[in-house]
Amino acid sequence: MDIYIKPPKKASMINRDKVLIEDLTEVIATKDVADKVKKLVLLDTSKKAEDKSDKKFYLISVTDIVKAIKKAYPDISVQNLGEMDTIVEYKADKSKEKRYVKWLKVGFVTLTLFIGSLAAIMSFHTDSEMSTILENFYFMLFRVRTDSPLLIEIPYAIGLGVGIIVFFNHFFGKRFTTDLTPIEVEMPIYENDVNDAIIDKLSTQKQEREEIQNDNR
């Protein structure tokens, strides 16, 4: 009998002692077989209680899934349709975290981003001598020299803000169009690179542990 599995590149678990096959992968087979296979245990985090204080990563390869299935059901043939390695991200349950603590974190991040963005924009305008450029624009239009061309600076400042809002396609949680924003385009690429780096690191650690075990035999 053939069954098909489709594991993802990453899965998150919160306060789970045991990771089952159904937590990591789709199982395509007859209903009775699929129900049994889904309940097989792949990882027991209760044996790693010392790791539960922080966010931890575990690596489960498709071979681990196949071995677990073949051990329980030797006659089953497993076909993989998904990723070769899956990162299991274990997180402690933070649902009981006090609301004011969450708001303090949000406020701190917001303030940090605001100050950082403000400093970046000011540095850019200073390096490009934008004030001199606006003064020259004012002189070209009105043939008058002034150190405060507000008639140019105010529309420019408003246009800068509007341009940023349009570029990111968000304003107070509302989206103007259905197009993906630059952040939505870049984040999957960044997350994929991070996941690849974690997989490489965990794979190296796993190989080192296996070599040590082989040497001790």
126, two tokens: 């200073």
Q: Quick check: 18 and 39 in contact, CB under 8 A? A: no
Dihedral, CA of residue 130, residue 135, residue 139 and residue 140, to nearest 10: 10
Helix (H, G, I), strand (E, B) or coil at 101: helix
Give the Cα separation of 123 and 129 in Å (integer). Answer: 10
For the chain, residues with pLDDT lower than 70 are 46-54, 92-97, 217
Cβ pair 91, 64 in contact under 8 A:
no
Tokens of 200: 């490489």
For the stretch 58-91, what's the b/e string if a residue is b when 16 or more beta carbons lie within 10 angstroms of its beta carbon? Answer: bbbbbebbbebbeeebeebebeeebbebbbbebe
Q: Determine phi and psi for 147, rounding to 5 degrees.
A: -85, -10
According to DSSP, residue 13 is labeled E
In tens, the pLDDT along 70-105 reads 998 888 889 999 889 888 888 766 666 677 888 898
Q: What is the pLDDT of residue 54?
A: 58
Instruction: Delimit the domains of the chain by residue range.
Output: 2-91, 98-127
Kindly report the pTM of this predicted structure: 0.64
* Residue 176 per-residue DSSP state: S
Q: In what order do the strands lie in the sheet with 26-28?
A: 26-28, 2-6, 77-80
**CATH fold of 2-91, please?**
eubacterium ventriosum atcc fold (2.60.480)
Q: β-strands 174-175, 170-171: how paired? A: antiparallel
For 179-194, the pLDDT digits (tens) are 788 888 888 899 999 9
